[in-house]
Structure 1
């Protein structure tokens, strides 16, 4: 099963057609062969999950219980279920609805969508929900227009999102590998010069802090790093104390800085030497998760683990995503405690 979880931005959804029109924008792509679960808090959507439809009935029963347990842990007030697929998808859809109800979770709406039509499993009125289904058009929906105005984008499919974060190939790969060789020599010279002074580790952290500050400033102004700058920052991120500084800065810059950090780390993921991309990809996964973009967070973490299966930061992020932990459940990193602040002021 491939699952994507994320917190849901506020959208006004008044009908099944609105739900179906907004869902691709919530996910970031138009789903197919998928189950989407929208968690409700009060009268609004709060948390959503997308997963592949199972291949057989045994997997379906087990997955249904997993979905119900997940949303039970989040203490939602109810869920809306949407299956994207042919009629056979209804068996799994009903299994998930039954599991939710066994866990005490109301299911006010249960939909199946396929080839521009939808069917409601909670409505048996022919005038409202005819056997042939009701047509819907994502493009002409007010919900889709509202999502677009909010800056949300729906790519054609999940693979399009994955491709948008692919690493370099061909000439671009050769160029960044050459730049990485130059960055490696630069790092050796830095280590040699610092060995008898402040030490190699502190020198690398200081160099990383300078490189990161310059990179954030560049992307905030709409610029972009050169290959040599990408390679230098990529290598320095393998120094864990500096990697942790970069991680902390994502939260310290707060929501206003997230767009800049997403642009920076996404650019590194697309351009860095694929064998060295794990720290940058993990940071991209973190900032996407903080921003409520579970889809890209998962793709970035997969890139990190592909480059380095044992990378601990990526494994931690993978666990957070697998457990569907929402950003609101974890405070920002590096937030000073009030008691410590008061102690310093004395």
Structure 2
């Protein structure tokens, strides 16, 4: 679930259908997307697979969190029957007094009811998507492109050689932690590509609970974007079964950066590459509870007090 990014003005339901990829960060396929609108603004965007059973269960935290909001629910699918099945499931689950608009979008037209002739929209090249790209919000072609971001991109031989080099130059854990802290600070100031040995240092450091707590609790909405880049590089270059801490750090930074889809993908990757249990529980609760990034400062303060 994603908090709305910087303001984009929409003037019609067509605009709203076209802007969804910029809110999610990718073009949805066979997806149900719920937009919670209050005070004339999209406050929250939530997505689930259309074929989840029942799909309404995954979207329920959005309307529980924002009672009184106006909801627009859009089924993106070429299969009209499945689209309206999913929309009907959400319609039945929404509170009876909640205002809602149900829409099926098939990639070329959107429809407000099954017998509607439909209204054309631009699924790929609309002005609003161009504005999002210009503003630096990446819009990926599909959710599969997000999964590729958390896959290993180094050969086992490259990873082993990097581990050997780091072990040869580090006299102990304190050296690795000190180097990792310096890398984290440097990347905040000047984001860029990591050398594989630097990624290895950060991967090893992420196994130290104190360092990982420090790294995650120092993540803010201001430095979230470079932190996403940093930790995804660690995930790609690290030992595949040992990047759980880096995945947790990437998930937190993605959430704070307004990229709920990437946050969810990082959490799913942690099923196979487990990370720190406490942070995994926290991130799952944030995701399932549709907690907006604006609440991070108070949540981080509570976590610091709990660790003191």
TM-score of the superposition, structure 2-length normalised? 0.87
Pick the aligned partner of 1:135 from 115, 120, 126: 120
Closer, same or farther: CA 175–333 of 1 in aligned 2, 3 Å: farther
Aligned to 1:283: 249
CA distance, structure 1, for counterparts of residue 34 and residue 25 of structure 2: 15
Aligned to 1:308: 274
CA distance, structure 2, for counterparts of residue 82 and residue 313 of structure 1: 32
Does the CA contact (< 8 Å) of 1:282 and 1:313 recur in 2?
A: yes
Secondary structure class of the residue paired with 2:152: coil
Shift of 1:27: 1.0
Give a deviation string over 1:94-118, Cα, whole Å, max 9, x none. Answer: 231232242x3211x2210113111
Aligned to 1:190: 172
| Structure 2 alignment gaps of length 5 or more | 303-308
Secondary structure class of the residue paired with 2:47: strand
Aligned to 2:88: 94
CA distance, structure 2, for counterparts of residue 169 and residue 214 of structure 1: 20
Does the CA contact (< 8 Å) of 1:305 and 1:315 recur in 2?
A: no
CA distance, structure 2, for counterparts of residue 159 and residue 276 of structure 1: 22
Closer, same or farther: CA 185–164 of 1 in aligned 2, 3 Å: same
Shift of 1:211: 2.3
Determine if the alignment matches structure 1 residue 178 to structure 2 residue 161: yes
Aligned to 1:42: 39
Determine if the alignment matches structure 1 residue 160 to structure 2 residue 145: yes
Determine if the alignment matches structure 1 residue 268 to structure 2 residue 261: no
Shift of 1:256: 2.8
Closer, same or farther: CA 256–73 of 1 in aligned 2, 3 Å: closer
Moved more, 311-320 or 218-227: 218-227
Moved more, 144-153 or 303-312: 303-312
RMSD of aligned residue pairs (Cα, Å): 2.5
Number of aligned residues: 299
CA distance, structure 2, for counterparts of residue 332 and residue 272 of structure 1: 32
| Structure 1 alignment gaps of length 5 or more | 125-129, 192-202, 337-346
CA distance, structure 2, for counterparts of residue 95 and residue 335 of structure 1: 39
CA distance, structure 1, for counterparts of residue 68 and residue 236 of structure 2: 37
Give a deviation string over 1:82-104, Cα, whole Å, max 9, x none. Answer: 011222121321231232242x3
Does the CA contact (< 8 Å) of 1:219 and 1:263 recur in 2?
A: no
Shift of 1:310: 6.7
Shift of 1:140: 4.4
Moved more, 64-73 or 266-275: 64-73
Closer, same or farther: CA 229–68 of 1 in aligned 2, 3 Å: closer
Aligned to 2:305: none
Shift of 1:14: 1.3
Does the CA contact (< 8 Å) of 1:209 and 1:242 recur in 2?
A: no
CA distance, structure 2, for counterparts of residue 326 and residue 218 of structure 1: 25
Does the CA contact (< 8 Å) of 1:180 and 1:273 recur in 2?
A: no
Closer, same or farther: CA 64–237 of 1 in aligned 2, 3 Å: closer
Larger Rg, first or second structure (1 or 2) = 1
